[in-house]
A and B are shown apart, each in its own frame.
Chain A
Amino acid sequence: MKINSAVKLGTVATFAAVLLAACGSSSSSSSEASKQTLNWMENSALPSMDLSTSTDVVSGETENNTNEGLLRFGKNSKTLPGVAKSYTKSKDGKTYTFNLRKSNWSNGDKVTAKDFVYAWQRTVNPKTASQYSYMYAQVKNANAIIAKKKPVSSLGVKAVGNYKLVVTLTQATSYFPALVASPMFFPQNQSVVQKYGKKYATNAASNVYNGPFKLTYWTGTSDNWTLSKNTKYWNAKNVKLKKINFKTMKDPQTSLSQYQSGKLDATYLSGQQPKNYKNSKQYVERKSASTFYIELNEKKDSMMKNKKARQALSLAINRNQFVNKVLADGSTAAKGLVSTGLASKNGKDFNTAAAVPSATTQDLTKAKKLWKQALKETGRKSYSLTLMADDTPAGKNSAEFIQSQWAKLDGLKVTNSNLPFKTRLARSQDGQFDAVISAWGADFPDPISFLSLFTSGNSYNNGKWASKSYDKYVKAASGKDANNADARWSDMVNAQKTILNDQGIIPVYQQGKAQLVKSNVKGLIYFPTGANWDFSSAYISK
Chain B
Amino acid sequence: MAKYLAKRIFYLVLTLFIVITVTFFLMKLLPGTPLTNQAKLSKSQIALIYEQYGLNKPVWQQYLLYLAGAVRGNFGTSFQFSDQPVSYLLSSRIGPSLQIGLQAMIFGVIIGIIVGSFGAMKQNTWVDTSATFVSILGISIPSFVLAVLLQYYLGLKLGWFPIAEWGGFIYTVLPTLALGATPLAESARFVRTEMVDVLSSDYIELAKAKGLSRTGVIYHHALRNSLIPLITIVGPLAVNIMTGSMVVENIFSIPGIGEQFVKSVLTNDYPTIMGLTIIYSFMLCVVLLFTDILYGIVDPRIRITGKAN
- B:35-57 near A, CB below 8 Å: 35-45, 48-49, 52-53
Query: With the chains together, A223 CA to B255 CA distance in Å?
Result: 6
Contact flags B155-191 to A (C-beta < 8 A → 1, else 0): 1100111111110111001000000000000000000
Q: Does A422 sit within 8 A of B, measured CB to CB?
A: yes
Q: Does B217 sit within 8 A of A, measured CB to CB?
A: no
Q: Which of B41, B48, B83 contacts A202 (CB 8 A)?
A: B83
Complex: chain B residue closest to A429, CB-CB: B43
Q: Does A487 sit within 8 A of B, measured CB to CB?
A: no
Q: Which of A6, A21, A224 contacts B161 (CB 8 A)?
A: A21
Q: Which of A6, A422, A426 contacts B267 (CB 8 A)?
A: A422
Q: Which of B30, B36, B163, B169 contacts A257 (CB 8 A)?
A: B163
Contacts A126-B48, A202-B84, A421-B266; A55 near B253 (Cβ below 8 A): no
Q: Is the CB of A254 within 8 A of B252?
A: yes
Q: Which of B38, B152, B268 has the most CB of A within 10 A?
A: B38
Interface residues on chain A, number (Cβ under 8 Å): 64
Q: Does B259 sit within 8 A of A, measured CB to CB?
A: yes
Q: Is the CB of A426 within 8 A of B36?
A: no
Q: Is the CB of A2 within 8 A of B169?
A: no
- A:39-78 near B, CB below 8 Å: 45, 47-48, 50, 53-56
Q: Which of B31, B48, B148, B219 contacts A146 (CB 8 A)?
A: B48
Q: Does A201 sit within 8 A of B, measured CB to CB?
A: yes
Query: With the chains together, A426 CA to B268 CA distance in Å?
Result: 12
> How close is B304's CB to chain A, nearest CB, in angstroms?
28
> How close is B90's CB to chain A, nearest CB, in angstroms?
9
Query: With the chains together, A429 CA to B32 CA distance in Å?
Result: 10
Residues of chain B within 8 A (CB-CB) of A459 are 42-43
Q: Is the CB of A201 within 8 A of B83?
A: yes
- B:71-109 near A, CB below 8 Å: 80-84, 88-89, 92-93
Query: With the chains together, A224 CA to B252 CA distance in Å?
Result: 13
Query: With the chains together, A201 CA to B84 CA distance in Å?
Result: 10
Query: With the chains together, A2 CA to B89 CA distance in Å?
Result: 42
Contacts A126-B52, A422-B33; A25 near B159 (Cβ below 8 A): yes
> How close is A22's CB to chain B, nearest CB, in angstroms?
8
Query: With the chains together, A146 CA to B80 CA distance in Å?
Result: 22
Q: Does B114 sit within 8 A of A, measured CB to CB?
A: yes
Q: Does B117 sit within 8 A of A, measured CB to CB?
A: yes
Q: Does B110 sit within 8 A of A, measured CB to CB?
A: yes
Interface residues on chain B, number (Cβ under 8 Å): 60
Query: With the chains together, A440 CA to B267 CA distance in Å?
Result: 18
Q: Is the CB of B38 within 8 A of A222?
A: no
Residues of chain B within 8 A (CB-CB) of A258 are 163-165
Contacts A3-B117, A250-B250; A48 near B83 (Cβ below 8 A): yes
Q: Which of B33, B162, B259 contacts A24 (CB 8 A)?
A: B162
Complex: chain B residue closest to A41, CB-CB: B253
Q: Is the CB of B83 within 8 A of A50?
A: yes
Contacts A3-B114, A53-B82; A248 near B253 (Cβ below 8 A): yes
Q: Is the CB of A420 within 8 A of B255?
A: no
Complex: chain B residue closest to A422, CB-CB: B32
Q: Is the CB of A131 within 8 A of B36?
A: yes
Contacts A48-B81, A53-B82, A221-B93; A2 near B219 (Cβ below 8 A): yes
Q: Is the CB of A6 within 8 A of B110?
A: yes
Q: Which of B35, B41, B169, B252 contacts A134 (CB 8 A)?
A: B41
Q: Is the CB of A425 within 8 A of B32?
A: yes
Q: Does A407 sit within 8 A of B, measured CB to CB?
A: no
Contact flags A1-21 to B (C-beta < 8 A → 1, else 0): 111001100100000011011
Query: With the chains together, A460 CA to B45 CA distance in Å?
Result: 13
Please provide the 6 A-B residue pairs with the shortest distance between their CB atoms, ordered closest to farther: A422-B32, A129-B52, A131-B37, A223-B255, A426-B31, A55-B37
5 residue pairs from A and B, CB less than 8 Å apart: A10-B111, A48-B82, A220-B81, A253-B251, A422-B266
Chain A residues at the B interface, C-beta cutoff of 8 Å = 1-3, 6-7, 10, 17-18, 20-21, 24-25, 45, 47-48, 50, 53-56, 126-127, 129, 131-132, 134, 146-148, 198-202, 219-224, 247-251, 253-254, 257-258, 260-261, 263, 420-423, 425-427, 429, 440, 443, 459-460
| Extra inter-chain contacts (20) besides given A131-B40, A134-B40, CB under 8 Å | A3-B215, A7-B114, A10-B111, A47-B36, A53-B83, A126-B52, A131-B41, A134-B41, A199-B83, A220-B88, A248-B253, A253-B148, A421-B32, A423-B30, A425-B39, A426-B31, A427-B31, A429-B43, A459-B42, A460-B42
